[in-house]
Amino acid sequence: MSNAANLVAVIPAAGVGSRMQADCPKQYLSIEGQPVLWHSVSRLLAHPRVSQAVVAVSANDPYVGDIQWPVDKPVHVVTGGKERADSVLAGIRYAISVCRADWVLVHDAARPCLRAADLEQLIATSMSTNIGGILAVPVRDTMKRSDNGAISATVDRTALWHAQTPQMFPAAELESALASALTAGATITDEASALEWAGKQPLLVEGHADNIKITHPEDLALARFYLQQELV
The strand pairing partners of 206, in sequence order, are 136
Please tell me the distance from the alpha carbon of residue 166 to that of residue 174, in angstroms, as a whole number. 14
What pLDDT, on a 0 to 100 scale, did the predictor assign at position 106? Answer: 98
What pLDDT, on a 0 to 100 scale, did the predictor assign at position 232? Answer: 43
pLDDT in single tens digits along all 232 residues of the chain: 566 799 999 999 997 755 655 678 889 999 989 999 999 999 999 999 999 999 999 998 999 999 999 878 999 999 999 999 999 999 999 999 999 999 999 999 999 999 999 999 999 999 888 889 999 999 999 989 998 889 999 998 888 999 999 999 999 999 999 999 999 999 999 999 999 999 999 999 999 999 999 998 899 999 999 998 875 4
Is the separation of the CB atoms in 96 and 171 below 8 Å?
A: yes
CA angle 125, 222, 36 (to 5 degrees): 70
* pTM to 2 decimal places: 0.92
What pLDDT, on a 0 to 100 scale, did the predictor assign at position 231? Answer: 55
Backbone φ and ψ for 171, nearest 5 degrees, come out as: -60, -50
Backbone φ and ψ for 157, nearest 5 degrees, come out as: -95, 0
